[in-house]
Structure 1
Amino acid sequence: MEKQQPPLGGVKVDLGKLKIESNSAARDVDFGQVLEVETNPALEKKVLKKIDLFLIPLMGACYMLQYIDKLAISQATLFNLRQDLNLKGSEYNWASAIFYFGYFAWSWPSSYLIVRLPLGKYLSVAVFVWGGVLMCHAACTNWGGLMAARFFLGVGEASIAPGFALITGMFYTRAEQPARQAAWFIGNSVAVLLGGLIAYGIGNIHITTIAQWQLLFLILGAVTSAYAFVLFFALPDSPAKAVFLKPDERSVAVHRTLKNKTGVLDTGNFKWGQVWMAIKDLQTWFLVLYTLCVNFCNGGITSFSAIIISGFGFGHLEALLIQMPIGGAQLVFLILTSGFAAIVPKSRIIMMILNTAISVIGMLLIWKLDDTNRAGKMTGLCLGSVFAANIPLSLSLISSNVAGFTKKSTVSSLMFAAYCIGNIVGPQFFIPSEEPSYQTGIKAAMAGLAFGIFFLICLYVFYIWENRRRDRLYGSPREMTEREELQDELSNKTDHEIESFRYVL
């Protein structure tokens, strides 16, 4: 064996072993073993199956709990939350929106901590905190207390989706990511299906010493905090620390994703230069503006769906159950569009445009149909929420098209900051005097969706233009050796710096 091999991207090589001298999760991997590991389609398929069976349900269940908890305040309005806390005027609007102020405030510190701390452990602590804060909602006696609880709930939840997107990028190839992002995001749709049923069950519990809305927060918060202990011991920080994989399988897991060139192995070093690169990148701002606009709709529908459905003429407990078809519509379009994007190349953004256009049609039905047409309006509300199926596709664009761990976490944070701002602004269009039809809010939501389609088209055109520009400058990407693929992966360069990098559409 050679005593010394040529340096690999600044990484010293000694006796065939690549020893990482940076403060990163990559230091836990013997990259000499990664390069020398004997892989075959059957072995890779076996490792992929183990990752799918363990990781996807783990993240999906967590994301389901997150959205059930997020829906709780809307459901609590049907259990006299507003009356018991004496909320006046637009105070409920702000109590709903302040959650996203907390989410926004923590998005930047989170982007730093995600890089510096063990990812799985950090996310599990965040889940424990948000569950505890949700339980604290039951202790609120006025608007001020509710505002504080909602703010810190946003802080607790801010890290989850960006963290799960990074984990998906670590374990899956670029081609596999849309389907896997969608797989754990199914928890969101299941939450809408089950959330109303759970709230309905709690609504039929009658205890004289505690209000039903308080019981709702206590039960949901306790379940979430308990699940945090499962995540702490099971959710991996990286492929190198996946407890559900054997040592040789971990090497195969790393080997599978070398072609991603997105720098997910290099965690631990926060590079401020990559923050500036993210800010200068046009794709960042097209994603941010799209996210901002469509969440005018999300903020209003999430916070006011129970009140809107109640306005269709359904009783309070009926309104909880009737929310279930909304989750069903999201689930159907999530499976169809994410599945299509996983099978058909260059179709992710087209599927996102399709989902958003369907939501525009849904909001149009709510706006224009007569109040007596309950079935038509309910159909509109179901279709109006379909755009939420775009979230895993947009996350897959970040994990596939943004290289450099710090740049990726920065773009994720900017996108989720836009998500927060959209959800803060959106509910303000739902004017209390217009309850329960909220005509201004419905029109604002529809306009935001239309602008979202425009920015998706801009992003699609940008990716095509940039790929063609790179082909002209560098030629078509050639097939690279595994050692060269590993060099690109460990270099932690951004997508702008890697000449062979091409954007997926």
Structure 2
Amino acid sequence: MENRSNSIKKDSPPLDNMADAKQNLEAFNTRDDELGHMMEVVATPKEERRALWKLDMILIPMMGLCYMMQYMDKLALSQATLFGLREDLNLQGSDYSWASAIFYFGYLAWSWPSSYLMVRLPIGKYISATVLVWGGVLMCHAAAKTFGGLLAARFFLGVGEASIAPGFALITGMLYKREEQPARQAAWFLGNCVSTIIGGVVAYAIGTIENATVNSWQLLFLVLGTITAGMFCWLIFLLPDSPKKIIFLTKQEQAIVLQRTVANKTGMMDGGDFKASQAWLALRDPQTWLLVLYTFCVNLWNGGVTSFSGIIIKSFGFSQLTSLLMQMPMGAAQVVFLLLSAGIATLVPRTRIIMMIFNILVSTIGMLLVWQLDPNNQTGRMVGLTLGAVFAVNIPLSLSLISSNVAGFTKRSVTGALLFVAYCVGNIVGPQLFIDTEEPSYPTGMKASVSGLALGAFFLVCLLFYYLYENRRRDSVYGPPTQLTDEQERAQGLLNKTDLEIESFRYLI
């Protein structure tokens, strides 16, 4: 660790004196006169609160609704099995497992190109375009007549959805202070939990429609796809590309947003260039790989149980349509634990990772109940499956770790892409462990889910100790970051350097 920091200190000019800070600000103002003027705007506390209120009331619900539709669309395949999709398409053996997994191949294939395009293109418009593609592809599911057709639709659905979560995480990190990000990440992720609650109701309602033209599972894809594609009409206007392009804020409020977040030191005002040096730093950063390993392990559960939840719940003794409604408690549990986790992480300092570990342990206990309780214990196993879904509320907290602890726009986008690669690989492997001959108890899948959750908790503990060690080491080598003046903080925030290059950067835990 010492050698790495010494080399970084030599390679990058130190920023711990006033002369360097002034030089950086002058260079920034020369490069962009408009932004330089925005940095000079003086705002009152009331004006700052109003700008923040507008972001919270317009941007966050918009992203939450979009994320709600993403999970509803993802859950639709599991719901479609209860409407006869496997029988109509003649899926045999492991065909359904591969239909579930191929979505993540598309997700994985587009993760790296997406991380590059989000840096090079206006991020708001790029994400809006992907939503339109994703909605159109979802409607194409209804046209599938064979296993091959379903695989093609699932693959391109993964391509369409690959940019949503990492893109929203980048936008949140661009517009909010580091300490504000866990609550805002959790707020738009709440759409995921709401979709689990209402998704079953929507599917149940569609299942009761008698239609001789299309089957219920086809109608499900058509309805959800139409709603998703329709979101493009307002996303294209309201989703911002940068703080100075938020159309629902005044020029004064745009300047306030810029000034509030510049002290994050996370490179939120990048010039649009993909920096290879930052990509390399992302690959050699220990926090990157600890987050990657954690993400892969916990998504062994996500890929398997999410895809097979309809079948598993039905095996508890519920009818087909009732099985759809019984997914609602899983969403309710996620809402409760999301509010609890985000609230504590926001109000109590240094508790973000601790809350993530707590949620993982709750899910582990839940899956042990599903696996070990008597098959006739319908209530106990349903409670276990409900608790097993709690780990998913860690997603916004892990995204907030990236947006607040990974500095440099390119480094952050590459780190986010690596996490979603791990997310995809875990979701690809997970369904393969739910072997068709073991239906409906799936002992192999249950063992993999419990093991993945336990390993995920272990890697989070390792990440916690790494952050603690690195913060103390930097305090010892460079002194406490409070020694910097406001002008020096501003200069560092505008430089688009990485957390490994900024001596005053300290990791939030």
1:434 alignment partner, one of 434, 438, 461: 438
- Residue number among 264, 276, 289 corresponding to 1:285 in the alignment: 289
In structure 2, the residue corresponding to 1:257 is in which secondary structure? Answer: helix
1:19-53 per-residue CA deviation (whole Å, 9 max, x = no partner) reads 32xxxxxx5x7233333221232221111111100
**Residue 314 of structure 1 aligns with which residue?**
318
Change (3 A) 1:481 1:175: same
Is residue 21–residue 492 contact of structure 2 (8 Å, CA) maintained in 1? no
Question: Where does 1:291-306 land on structure 2 (aligned, <5 Å)?
Answer: 291-306=295-310
For 2:399, which of 386, 395, 408 is the aligned residue?
395
- CA 9–293 in structure 1, closer or farther in 2 if over 3 Å, else same: farther
Of 359, 370, 377, which residue of structure 2 is paired with 1:373? Answer: 377
CA contact (8 A) 2:203 2:324 kept: yes
Out of 327, 330, 334, the position equivalent to 1:330 is 334
Partner of 1:254: 258
Question: Could you list the runs of 4 or more consecutive aligned residues of structure 1 that deviate by over 4 angstroms after TM superposition?
Answer: 5-12
Aligned to 1:270: 274
**Is 1:140 aligned to residue 151 of structure 2?**
no
- 2: CA distance, partners of 1:339 / 1:9: 38
Tell me, yes or no, if structure 1 residue 207 matches structure 2 residue 211: yes
Contact 1:35/1:483, CA 8 A, preserved across alignment? no
Give the Cα–Cα distance (whole angstroms) in 2 for the partners of residues 435 and 19 of structure 1.
66
Which AA in structure 2 matches 1:365? L
SS of the aligned residue for 1:36 comes to coil
Instruction: Please name the residue that 2:244 is paired with.
Output: 240
Measured after TM superposition, the shift of residue 481 of structure 1 is: 3.5
Q: TM-score, normalised by structure 2?
A: 0.95
1:128 maps onto 2:106 in alignment: no
Partners of 2:122 and 2:241 within 8 A in 1: yes
Q: Verify: 1:19 aligned to 2:30, yes or no.
A: yes
What corresponds to 1:222 in structure 2?
Answer: 226
Alpha-carbon RMSD across the aligned residues, in angstroms, is: 1.5
Q: Secondary structure at the match of 1:385?
A: helix
Of 360, 378, 385, the match for 2:364: 360
1:493 corresponding residue in structure 2 = 497
Q: Which residue of 2 aligns with 1:418?
A: 422
Equivalences, count: 492
8 Å contact from structure 2 (residues 281, 411) kept in 1: yes
Report the Cα distance in structure 2 between the residues aligned to 1:501 and 1:66, rounded to whole angstroms. Answer: 34
**Partner residue of 2:461 out of 450, 457, 482:** 457
Q: Check whether the contact 1:9–1:488 (CA below 8 A) recurs between aligned residues.
A: no
Identity of aligned residues (%): 61
Whole-Å separation in 1 of the counterparts to 2:210 and 2:174: 47
Q: Where does 1:474-485 land on structure 2 (aligned, <5 Å)?
A: 474-485=478-489
User: Counterparts of 2:444 and 2:122 in 1: how far apart (Å)?
Assistant: 45
Matched residue type, 1:221: G
CA distance, structure 1, for counterparts of residue 264 and residue 279 of structure 2: 20
Residue 9 (structure 1) shift: 7.7
Structure 1 unmatched ranges of 5 or more: 21-26
- Contact residue 39 and residue 258 of structure 2 kept, 8 A: no
Letter in 2 for 1:363: M
Counting only pairs closer than 5 Å after superposition, residues 72-91 of structure 1 correspond to structure 2 as 72-91=76-95
**SS across alignment from 2:481:** coil
- Going from structure 1 to structure 2, the CA distance change for 1:482 and 1:135 (only over 3 Å counts) comes to same
Q: Secondary structure at the match of 1:263?
A: coil
Give the CA deviation at 1:233: 1.2
**Are 1:62 and 2:73 an aligned pair?**
no
1:483, distance to aligned residue in structure 2 (A)? 2.9
Post-superposition CA distance 1:171-210 (Å, at most 9, x none): 1000000000000000000000010000000001111111
Note the C-alpha offset of 1:269: 0.9
Looking at structure 2, the residues matched to 83 and 118 of structure 1 have their Cα atoms a distance apart, in angstroms, of 44
